[in-house]
Amino acid sequence: MTSQKEAMLAGGPYLADDPELAADALRAALLSERFNATSAADPEARRAALAELLGEVGEGVEIRPPLRVDYGHHISVGPRTFINFGAVLLDVGRITIGADVQFGPNVQLLTPTHPIDPEQRRAKWEGARPITIGDNVWLGGGVIVCPGVTIGEDTVVGAGAVVTRDLPAGVVAVGNPARVIRRIGEEAGEEGS
């Protein structure tokens, strides 16, 4: 028989109040508290707390507290990635963040899904779809990435955008829902965070 955790990671329906999942969530909450309480004056302690919380942390990664996660160990962060203050990484499904990625403040990566049917929601059924952020992506402040989205390498997503579907590599996308406004290199200019 498949456990609720296995069903969750496979993207199938699962019961959110499962005891094994509750224990994993408590572990993440306690490790998050420890990470969020670390001092910038002690980067080794901050890195150690982050390495214990997350599934994989590449060399040279900087994540500024506060950070919020569901489980932590379903998150992989590639080398030299920078994640600014206030990130929310809801890793009910797997979250893969590439190398050299930049997050502005208050970015949210949201893998959980919920049934439309009110009775299924009342019964605490949930689901999840993984999120993948390619290498050298820049997510401006306040960007929200919805379940199941993949963002291609070198893409820039403007501040406040809501990404509801995949974005190709090498584009600039803005808005709610996010839409591609141009390919990178088509015209000069800087996008703000």
d(CA 12, CA 127): 6
Amino acid at 155: T
- Matching residue, tokens 């952020």: 133
The yes-or-no answer on residue 73 being catalytic is no
Q: Alpha helices of the chain — where are they, by DSSP H?
A: 4-9, 19-36, 43-53, 118-122
- φ and ψ of 120, to 5 deg: -65, -40
d(CA 117, CA 31): 34
- φ and ψ of 38, to 5 deg: -70, 155
d(CA 92, CA 78): 19
Cα dihedral 83, 41, 74, 142, rounded to 10, equals -30
Indicate which residue of 22, 56, 60, 114 is catalytic: 114
CB 108 within 8 A of CB 129: no
* Both structure tokens of 110: 């949201």
Kindly list the catalytic residues: 114
